[in-house]
Amino acid sequence: MAEVRLDNVTKTFPGGVTAVASCDLVIPDGQFTVLVGPSGCGKSTTLRMIAGLESPTGGTIRIGDRVVNHVQPRDRDVAMVFQNYALYPHMSVERNLRFPLERRRSTPLWKSIVSANARRRRAAETEAISARVAEAATQLEIDTYLHRLPRELSGGQRQRVALGRALVRDPKVFLLDEPLSNLDARLRLAMRTELRQLHRRLGATMIHVTHDQEEAMTLGDVLVVMKDGVIHQVGSPADIYGEPADRFVASFVGTPPMNLIEGSFQGGEFRSSSGALLPAPNHGDGAAVLGVRPEAIRVVASSGGSAHVVTIERLGDRMDVVLEVGGTRFTSRMEPMEIEEGASCAVDFTDSGLHVFDADEQGRRRPK
Ligand code: ATP
């Protein structure tokens, strides 16, 4: 296992697009780290640079103690799992699993033909490969369809074979590029659990790329939130959710997203641009953006009061309600209750779900 470290890493493609800009990042040994961000934020390019499939235009990449900038992908001791599985279609599951090990054999076939010693060595290697493949197949529960071709498998089974092909190599680092995004919603949930369990069993360094913030929150020990080639925040899911570094992270993480209300503090009160007076931790006078988590808004009386119920989406164990307070709209998430669209109600805001951000372009969160 190994730590992965990026120091001041930049990737500018020949056309001039800077996909990753001066990135400093330490990916801890043995942790499940998720690179997450909207499409085009540079997460796949970062992963591909760690794999050696792209070379950085600046900076240093280390795996363990070794600088790998000029090390060939196959010598980096990493294994990559792709979204499209990248299995060999004409090979059985077993041959797909054996393939990465066969390629790394130290005794070539021709030597085993001409030398008895080499023959014995090759036979021992073959036995070791078979044992390794059997072990990985059992771990991933694909041992019952080793004889099948990839096209004879479901999407989830194929993805497990792709994981198995990484697993047999016992790499220092697993690199997972959107491995769940070709699966349907139910299977994706099941595979998330399997990935977590696999990680716990192996204790390996895993780096997973996804654009799905919910997948990132449920899978990662550490999240790296990126946008436009820049890392906005690195932290545990709880830190990222509870103390987002800036407005982008606040709006990207969480479903429904955080409500962000432009306005200003005057005399200790926050007034939204549309004129609503809202509760907020005091931050001195001047322009600011108030962030309100949907679950921080509670209806305390279902009739009367200054809030207006615009729409209600009932989701079984919870409901999403769009409320209007003094011309400002909020999405709230709460436990189901008797309330009608069009009604007036009184609402309350929980302090822990309120955040204040700078009104400038960076939008940093102000400490509470
Ligand atoms: P997605 O979720 O859509 O895969 P991503 O966050 O993984 O996006 P990257 O694939 O890393 O983003 O791309 C980052 C930026 O670099 C994008 O603007 C993309 O268009 C650009 N880019 C990626 N690969 C190349 C390339 N080979 N040549 C030129 N530009 C590229």
Q: How far is the CA of 232 from the centre of ligand 1 (A)?
A: 18
Task: Provide the token pair at 40.
Answer: 């085009």
Pocket test for ligand 1, best of 6, 41, 45 (most atoms within 8 A of CB): 45
Q: Which atom of ligand 1 is nearest to the CA of 11?
A: 16
Give the pLDDT score at 84.
Answer: 73
Tens of pLDDT along 240-283? Answer: 999 999 999 999 999 999 999 999 998 878 999 998 888 888 77
Q: How confident is the model at residue 74 (pLDDT cuts 50, 70, 90)?
A: confident
Superfamily of domain 4-247: P-loop containing nucleotide triphosphate hydrolases (3.40.50.300)
Give the pLDDT score at 226.
Answer: 97
Give the pLDDT score at 76.
Answer: 92
Tens of pLDDT along 32-58? Answer: 999 999 999 999 999 999 999 999 999
Averaged pLDDT, 101-126: 74
Question: Using N-to-C axis directions, what is the helix angle for 116-139 and 93-102, rounded to 10°?
Answer: 130
What value does the mean pLDDT of the chain take? 90
Lowest mean per-residue pLDDT among 46-60, 180-194, 301-315? 180-194
Same CATH fold assignment for domains 4-247 and 257-357: no
Q: Which atom of ligand 1 is nearest to the CA of 15?
A: 29
Q: How far is the CA of 40 from the centre of ligand 1 (A)?
A: 5
pLDDT at position 302 over 80: no
Superfamily of domain 257-357: Nucleic acid-binding proteins (2.40.50.140)
Averaged pLDDT, 320-342: 92
Task: Provide the token pair at 335.
Answer: 């436990």
Pocket test for ligand 1, best of 6, 13, 54 (most atoms within 8 A of CB): 13
Tens of pLDDT along 200-256? Answer: 988 899 999 999 999 999 999 999 999 999 999 999 999 999 999 999 999 999 999
Give the pLDDT score at 155.
Answer: 81
Q: Which atom of ligand 1 is nearest to the CA of 211?
A: 2
Q: Whose CA is nearest to atom 15 of ligand 1?
A: 19
Give the pLDDT score at 127.
Answer: 87
> Which sequence spans correspond to the domains of the chain?
4-247, 257-357
pLDDT at position 101 over 90: no
Lowest mean per-residue pLDDT among 14-28, 67-81, 106-120, 189-203? 106-120
Q: Whose CA is nearest to atom 1 of ligand 1?
A: 39
pLDDT at position 341 over 70: yes
